[in-house]
Chains A and B, each alone.
Chain A
Amino acid sequence: MNKVFAVIRREMVERIRTKAFLISTFLLPILMVVMMVLPAFMMGGTERTQRIAIVDGTRDGQLGAAVESGLARPTFTKDGETRPLYDVALVTAPDGVQLAEDSLVALTGFSREKMPTTLDGVLVLTDETLASGKAVYLGGNAGSLQGMGALQGTLSQALMRSRLQDAGVDEAVVMKAMMRADIQSQKVADGKLTGESGEASFVLAYGMGFLLYFVILIYGAQTATSVIEEKTSRIMEVLASSLTPFQMLLGKIVGVGLTGLLQVGIWGGVVFLASSQRGALAGLVGLDPSAMAAMPIPSMPLDLLVVFLLYFALGFVLYGALYAAIGSMVNSMQEMQQFMMPVTMLIVFGFFGVFAVMKDPTAGIGLIFSYIPFFAPFVMPVRWSMASVPVTQLVLSLASMIAGILAVAWLAARIYRVGILMYGKKPTFREVFRWVRQG
């Protein structure tokens, strides 16, 4: 057993010491924090009051006032004080719209240093606006989607009110009639409310599925490359004289798996820390805490965490053994690709199972997948998080998982034993089958 620990330890230490591991482990969290801070930083820096002139060329002059009051509402916060987003000047056009428009445009689009009273834009409203909704905006920020969207929204509202009024319809009635449905979902388990929102379970389910998919795909492949490295560096024969194939196999899978878990753990920890400390983080870069985007961190109930870790470990051992067997069969990374294909398919299939279960947690496909060892690690934690799973099903699923692992480990150990000392030409599937039979 101590020998297995030595293999695990070597596998972890040598892996963690590589530049690739250090860079990927610490660069990703830094990137995540930057992603959280940067948008707030950029938006906070550019927000300022927009000076807009509205030329009201309508007959009754009502629309301009309505838009002005609508634009007075949005505000933003800067340096701790609340400021209006728009500074609106309403201009009536007794001498004709065109003349007023031209004189205002002449004041628009200068830099503020040059001309403090410069306008950001001119909105021209005419009778045609009332009839067909067409209005003209002339401004330095005409390309800004967000700015135009806000303007258009406000104008639409004002137009709607004005038209309703013209038609003699009570605005309040329409507002009430147009109220949208709002469903608040909550998860129920064992006839009790769990207090989790449906949305949080979704994020959680997707996150767990993706994590397993990612770790198995990346680190599973590393198990295979690690075996290939030992083959090409010819150290395999030295090891084979000291360790049993099973000790080598077990040590390698567990060592690589733990390294993967460590990396994912560090990532998860940083996300959690950055998210829960986002106020302090914002203060660090001189931003308002509320301006920072919140990372959705669903809380994980203890039972789910246990189920997830259990399936994560079993799943990794299962796939790790497959990958190690593949590594032992081939001599180079290129040769590996062909044999990896079926395993990758299994993983992708399992990951698809997550979506099937998320769509309908109680459907039969989830149940069937729960009993197939290659898919259960993906599907079971998701089912557990989204619906209540009978304990008998959990036990049966775990039993099938363990039976699957024993079968795969037996198979892998036999392939491994012959494969690790086999150099030269790549074996055919028929030869591999013979290795297994010979054992």
Chain B
Amino acid sequence: MTAPAVLLEGVTKRFAGHVAVRDLSMTVPTGGIFGLLGPNGAGKSTTIRMIMEIYLADEGRIEILGTPHGARALSDRLGYIPEERGLYKKMKVIDQLIFFGETKGIVRGEARKRGLAWIERLGLGEWRDKKVEDLSKGMQQKVQFAGALLHDPDLVVLDEPFSGLDPVNSQVMKDVVIDIAKQGRTVLFSTHIMEQAERMCDRVVIIARGEKVVDGTLAEIKHQFGGTHVALTFSRDKEKAARVLADRSLVASVDDYGVTADVELASGAQAESLLEALVHAGVGMTRFELVEPSLQSIFIAKVGAEAVTAARKEEVAA
């Protein structure tokens, strides 16, 4: 079996006064897309920075691509986009890409060739000789992507890669990420948008308040989470459903979106009983479907609204 792309064992990081990451262990297998999920302030960026050797872990062990020498020694095989994007504002797009390539050990001529190819691929052709500061935010993001991927890294680490992108650009970036995974390379990315992670990731780890709460493949996680979930779409008289959904012998929890709702049945309750009760109450529905639990609902259940607020408070305090 090949060594994992990233291995964390009992990693802890403290900052003046508080623990950002506590005793975190996780394994990112080689190949595929790995999601590091968590609410704001959970310790995602800190974890990623420790993986990239920008912060040193206070305790624990980190192995990258099967070696313990740290990310900087392997820098030429790694691609990284930090949460805070950064480009030289006064530099031309192509010069910027060449420079990024050179810092990854690619000779100038080759870096230029690859830079041009990426510019073509991301549709930045007419911006090639423009200064970065003249580009829109979305285009700057593309330049950042190209800069991090120019040297065909074996492991790509992306901190919140899709934040601030419009749907079109988001789609382009998603295709790039999927493409890397198809080539057998590894992508590790962090996000707090669950829908995205659910559609893209093979494996996820959810952390909250610096600690791991969920770890596994999507199928495993959903299976372990268990329960019977029903997706509802209302057509009329939705208010009449309120009393039924409040019945704790039938319904364990409701995630209400207004027109639609995700319902988790109480243990031992049957979906048929719920349907019967809703019809009896006179609720109009266009959808009543047994579904797998969404990552979102797992996330909410595991992390909890209260955990999110707690983390925010800590953020403010720190």
Contacts and interface: CB of A to CB of B under 8 A. Distances in A.
Nearest to A3: B103
Contacts of A421: 54
B86 A235 contact: yes
A18 B91 CA distance: 11
Nearest to B75: A242
Nearest to B71: A241
B84 interface: yes
Contacts of B103: 3, 6-7, 239, 242-243
A241 B87 contact: no
A2 B86 contact: no
Contacts of B49: 237
Interface in A190-246: 230, 233-244
B296 to A, nearest CB: 30
Contact of A6 (B52, B89, B99, B147): B99
B183 to A, nearest CB: 21
A10 interface: yes
Nearest to A420: B54
Contact of A241 (B75, B88, B105): B75
Contacts of B90: 14, 18
Contacts of B104: 242
A263 B264 CA distance: 73
B72 interface: yes
Interface string A47-87: 00000000000000000000000000000000000000000
Given A14-B91, A242-B104, A244-B72, A234 B78 contact: no
Q: Classify chain A: how many residues form its interface, as a range.
A: 20 to 34
A6 B103 CA distance: 7
A166 B75 CA distance: 98
Contact of A235 (B72, B88, B148): B88
A237 B83 CA distance: 9
Interface string A232-262: 0111111111111000000000000000000
A240 B86 contact: no
A160 to B, nearest CB: 70
Contacts of A10: 88, 91, 95, 99
A240 B99 CA distance: 14
A169 B52 CA distance: 97
Contacts of A234: 82, 84-86
B193 to A, nearest CB: 22
A34 to B, nearest CB: 31
Given A6-B99, A242-B75, A233 B91 contact: no
A233 B75 contact: no
A227 B84 CA distance: 17
B237 to A, nearest CB: 53
Contacts of A235: 86-88
Nearest to A10: B99
Interface in B103-124: 103-105, 107
Interface of A: 2-3, 6-7, 10, 13-14, 18, 230, 233-244, 421
30 contacts: A2-B102, A2-B107, A3-B102, A3-B105, A7-B103, A10-B91, A233-B86, A233-B87, A234-B84, A235-B87, A235-B88, A236-B86, A237-B49, A238-B81, A238-B86, A238-B144, A238-B148, A239-B103, A240-B54, A241-B53, A241-B54, A241-B71, A241-B75, A242-B72, A242-B100, A242-B103, A242-B104, A243-B103, A244-B72, A421-B54
Top-3 shortest CB links A-B = A235-B86, A6-B102, A234-B86
